[in-house]
Structure 1
Amino acid sequence: MSLNENDSVIERISEIRPSQERKSELELLQEQKLEIVQSHTRNYLNSILEQNASKPMRIQSLNVVGAQNFRESFLKRQLYPLLVNDKLTLENLLENIDAVKLNFLKTQTISNLNFKIDSAYFKSRSTPANGIDLLTTLQLIPVKNFTAKIGTNVGNGEGDAYLTVNYRNIFGAGENLTFDTNVSSSSIGAKTRSTYLLNFNLPFNNNPNWRLDNIAYSTNRLIDWCVPHEQHITGFTNRISSQYEFFNHEFSVENILRTIKLTRPTTTYTNQFTVNDDILSQCGESFKSSFIYSLKFDSRDNPLLPSSGVLFKNSTELAGLIPLSSNSEKNAKFIKNQFEFQLAQKLTSNNLNFFNFSLRGGYIHNLSSTNNTLNIMDRFYLGGPNDLRGFALNGLGPKLSGSPIGGNFFYGGNLSLFNHVPKTSIDSNFKIHSFVNFGKLLNIKDLSDHDNFYENILKDPSVATGFGIVYKHPVARFELNR
């Protein structure tokens, strides 16, 4: 019996419900016959499970095919649910097999898992009289140890070449090494000139629910939505994150060297802004050493286009822990907090119509006593298709000589209604989309000043409304709005 990533052990047979529209009579008869066979098989398996769900069982032996690919300590930790024999029943056994499958999938070490259960020839003395001794065999099908991808991307007046190399399960305990690079020519007009990333990650202490990432990276990006300049970032990040079903935590430590350099405007720039004092004061090198904690609760049925569930995320960053430069003005020192809330609710039971409501916000408090200006890479920006539709990319908020300079406080919200497209199938990935966006970005000195809070922050937010078509692709969400 085979275990797939999206299948549970108890529900072995998936129900097929193809569209009934525009099908011949023969196709309908074949589908009805298949549904009848599946229904009988499902009912038979359910009856066996119900009759023997509470029957005592004991695993007499556990044979693991493919164990040579893993370290012993790592293997025992992932197989732990099957190594517990106390008060074991058939229902518990199937749940434990599901838990083992999930453990290995979280560690990214297997592509599939097969299992086989047989009755033992001889009963152990410790097995109850009405119990059954089992001989269990697990087959672990490992992922490919080495993969490499190379190619080019061309589109929207840009082009680049990329290389991705993955080396998995290096030492037999889920250790992965990933190298990712993306390089473009300045003559092509790509905004991301170069990106290099090296990530060594593994399950923390063999625990499948926690993962440790050690990431070194370097990126050089061209910014043209404000005064044209290049941002170069080189840094190292250590991150520990959980992989539970709903609640998850993430702890990160970042050490980054950042460089800003003005560039000469060319015809490739969509906006021609005048150089101002703000960008001039930011040129050169700066350092940031920070600790970040993030909390996330996610019960949505789909992260791309949810029809039900709730998402809440909160992230707090404390920068300036380690002074990387003797010049205090070059060290970022602040505390930043951001949150995001999303609610998805069905309007009809058949999942054809539903709405999404989201609200985001954030605030940065400068802790530096010598530098009253936040680095432009640390500020908030608002506007564009990814956060506030209907406005130019990062175009909201304070400006200097017509160029966006960002802010230290923002909020933004969105209410979207998704409706079924007429004359399309029930399971169509296309939806009619109507939305209302609102938000505001500004610089404030003191949140405790309530008069300024209501007068400047809550008054006159930017608002945009529109409609369009949304397509839910398995890996992305595409929108065409007006």
Structure 2
Amino acid sequence: MASNSGSEDELLESLRNPHTEKLDQRAKELREREEAQTQKAAQRLRELISSNSTLPVTISSIRLIGSGPQHTRRSFLDGLFAPILSANRGSSYKLSEALQEAGAVADKLRRFDIYHDVSMFVDKPDPTDPSSTPTDIDIWLQARERGRINLKTGTDIGNVEGSAYGNLLWRNIFGGAESLSLNASKGTRTRSSYQAVFDAPILSDPDKRITLDALASSTYKPWASHEEVLKGAGVKYSWATKSGTRHQVGYTGAWRQTTNLAADASPTVRNDAGDSVKSSITHTWTADRRDHPLLPSRGYLLKTVSEIAGWGPLRGDVAFWKSEVETAAAMPISNGVSFTTGLRAGVLYPLPVGFGGPAQPSRIHDRFQLGGPTDIRGFNIGGLGPRDGRDSVGGDVYAAASANLLIPFPRVAKDTPLRLQLFANGGRLLALKDTSSSDVYKTIAQLADGLPSLAAGVGVVYAHPVARFELNFSLPLVMRRGEDARKGLQFGVGINFL
């Protein structure tokens, strides 16, 4: 055995050729030299553009090359490129303006989510072309197409629920950045959920989109002793303004069932058992100026959601006006420490179905629920507000607020998405006694009557690219009789935390 080991060592030593080491070193030096030359060339290009930024130019053509155009309609690209072709507008740009416009087009291509690695080049046209002029430039966009079919499966754990899911995404279906997403999941609380979403941009604009969706789900709601079965479909149109705010208008028709009641379900839940049809129009307005949607350190969010039900082709058997407002702000303190705060409030005002006859009280499907790891930490889901026996039956008016101090972990880079959290949050959820407008005002005034239900604690926050994860230790400080508080560890997963 000793002789064999010695022969192996001699063989390995013979393979360590000094010439090979020199070649590796030489290759490394060449790579470093090429990188340095590339950086110098890029710097010279920036200096050349800067010194000629006011030079008049005419964009004579824009071309998309690479693997990008294989499945994309020419008419779709023409709608994107035509507005900036100065050769067709009868006017010219300054060089800096032309590059800015072309850069905006490249950014739009990225935002359609059908390309990646979009890069831009500028060149002069063929000098032998008799139609070209000295001010003409050509814009070349090189893009690599994303995979058109994407299949993903996995499991999720969070918010006292575990589930398995599958997702099929089909991109660029008709060559105009359309997409079809099919989702299916089964879990411990969401027993089953099936959703199909078709999305398409309008007029080659990523900020103007039309969406068609259909949903069928069955969700177990132990805090209210029943299972909700939902089948519905809707259409939405969304757009963005020049200031960066976003709007979405939609129409939804849904058939809801309150079924599989527990043996000890409350009279309120039993009264709402059976079928219900809702037809509603919604509008959402969002102004998001935060530097990160899940772990912001500066900026603010303003959002309103308004819904009117009982009007439309289906009309349905419920009618109400429902409005929510959400605000959030974040500010840096020092050394990666930041302070965030949030406020949410909502009102549900019952209306007559078809706007004729008496208004009917709200149903459990439509009322607000408050409490849980993504809004009022330190309380279970549906832990705040009106109750009938052990059931949380929801409310018609609520307000909730939170304050969070986010601190980087010791000996961990400040730019990592991991933070320690100190928080305090609270809120109130109330029910209307009748459907009169005077009772709505009285109920809103009661929100300030006494201290809200409060909890504080400490935890760990991790901002994954697709969701935010929190593990908190919570201590309820103020709670009302019957409310379902939770002292100790609480785990939450979501994309919209208070």
**TM-score in terms of structure 1 length:** 0.80
Contact 1:106/1:243 (<8 A) preserved: no
Q: Which amino acid aligns with 1:257?
A: W
Pick one of 332, 343, 358 that aligns with 2:318: 332
Pick one of 381, 390, 413 that aligns with 1:393: 381
- Per the alignment, do residues 420 and 152 of structure 1 end up closer, same or farther by CA in structure 2, a change over 3 Å counting? closer
* Equivalence for 1:74: 76
- d(CA) in 2 for partners of 1:299 and 1:213? 25
- d(CA) in 1 for partners of 2:81 and 2:313? 45
- Per the alignment, do residues 280 and 210 of structure 1 end up closer, same or farther by CA in structure 2, a change over 3 Å counting? same
Pick one of 242, 246, 258 that aligns with 1:248: 246
Alignment of 1:110 onto 2:115: yes
CA displacement 1:113-162 (0-9 Å, x = unmatched): 2333222342889988xx64323333342222223234556899966543
Q: Which amino acid aligns with 2:410?
A: P
- d(CA) in 1 for partners of 2:292 and 2:375? 19
1:412 deviates by 0.3
Pick one of 423, 430, 435 that aligns with 1:442: 430
Contact 2:304/2:324 (<8 A) preserved: yes
Q: Which amino acid aligns with 1:346?
A: P
Contact 1:262/1:283 (<8 A) preserved: no
Alignment of 1:284 onto 2:301: no
* Equivalence for 1:467: 458
Contact 2:58/2:86 (<8 A) preserved: no
* Equivalence for 1:365: 349
* Equivalence for 2:55: 55
Contact 2:261/2:270 (<8 A) preserved: no
CA displacement 1:396-444 (0-9 Å, x = unmatched): 0011112111000000001111223333333233322111112100013
1:342 deviates by 0.5
Contact 1:380/1:408 (<8 A) preserved: yes
* Equivalence for 1:355: 339
Contact 2:224/2:265 (<8 A) preserved: no
1:36 deviates by 9.5
Contact 1:81/1:100 (<8 A) preserved: no
Contact 1:308/1:346 (<8 A) preserved: yes
* Equivalence for 1:22: none
Bigger shift: residues 368-377 or 381-390: 368-377
Contact 1:436/1:464 (<8 A) preserved: yes
* Equivalence for 2:232: 235
- Per the alignment, do residues 61 and 297 of structure 1 end up closer, same or farther by CA in structure 2, a change over 3 Å counting? closer
Bigger shift: residues 311-320 or 98-107: 98-107
Q: Which amino acid aligns with 2:378?
A: G
- Per the alignment, do residues 392 and 285 of structure 1 end up closer, same or farther by CA in structure 2, a change over 3 Å counting? same
Q: Which has the higher helix share?
A: 2
- d(CA) in 2 for partners of 1:376 and 1:95? 52
* Equivalence for 1:13: none
- Per the alignment, do residues 422 and 156 of structure 1 end up closer, same or farther by CA in structure 2, a change over 3 Å counting? closer
Pick one of 369, 373, 378 that aligns with 2:366: 378
Q: How many residue pairs were aligned? A: 429
Contact 2:266/2:390 (<8 A) preserved: no
1:452 deviates by 5.8
Pick one of 305, 312, 316 that aligns with 1:322: 312
Q: Where in structure 1 are there 5+ consecutive unaligned residues?
A: 1-32, 185-189, 266-273
SS in 1 for 2:108: helix
1:60 deviates by 3.4
SS in 2 for 1:225: helix
1:83 deviates by 1.6
Contact 2:368/2:394 (<8 A) preserved: yes
CA displacement 1:296-355 (0-9 Å, x = unmatched): 101100000111111000011000013747xxxx6110000001001111123x5x1211
- Per the alignment, do residues 373 and 302 of structure 1 end up closer, same or farther by CA in structure 2, a change over 3 Å counting? same
- Per the alignment, do residues 467 and 440 of structure 1 end up closer, same or farther by CA in structure 2, a change over 3 Å counting? same
- Per the alignment, do residues 263 and 384 of structure 1 end up closer, same or farther by CA in structure 2, a change over 3 Å counting? same
Q: Percent identity?
A: 30
- d(CA) in 2 for partners of 1:43 and 1:417? 42
Contact 2:106/2:120 (<8 A) preserved: no
- Per the alignment, do residues 439 and 35 of structure 1 end up closer, same or farther by CA in structure 2, a change over 3 Å counting? farther
- d(CA) in 2 for partners of 1:39 and 1:81? 33
- Per the alignment, do residues 397 and 303 of structure 1 end up closer, same or farther by CA in structure 2, a change over 3 Å counting? same
* Equivalence for 2:297: 307
Contact 2:209/2:239 (<8 A) preserved: yes
* Equivalence for 2:403: 415
* Equivalence for 1:175: 178
1:79 deviates by 1.5
What is the Cα-based RMSD across aligned positions, in Å?
3.1
- d(CA) in 1 for partners of 2:57 and 2:311? 55
**TM-score in terms of structure 2 length:** 0.78
Q: Which amino acid aligns with 2:351?
A: L
Q: Which has the larger radius of gyration?
A: 2
- d(CA) in 2 for partners of 1:107 and 1:356? 32
- d(CA) in 2 for partners of 1:159 and 1:415? 29
1:59 deviates by 2.8
Contact 1:200/1:213 (<8 A) preserved: yes
1:45 deviates by 4.3
- Per the alignment, do residues 307 and 161 of structure 1 end up closer, same or farther by CA in structure 2, a change over 3 Å counting? closer
- d(CA) in 2 for partners of 1:258 and 1:440? 27
CA displacement 1:163-212 (0-9 Å, x = unmatched): 3222222221122222211235xxxxx11121111112211243322111
Contact 2:159/2:373 (<8 A) preserved: no
SS in 2 for 1:385: coil
Q: What pairs with 1:4-23 in structure 2 (closer than 5 Å)?
A: none
- Per the alignment, do residues 157 and 201 of structure 1 end up closer, same or farther by CA in structure 2, a change over 3 Å counting? closer
* Equivalence for 1:211: 209
Q: Which amino acid aligns with 1:163?
A: G
SS in 1 for 2:117: strand
1:102 deviates by 2.2
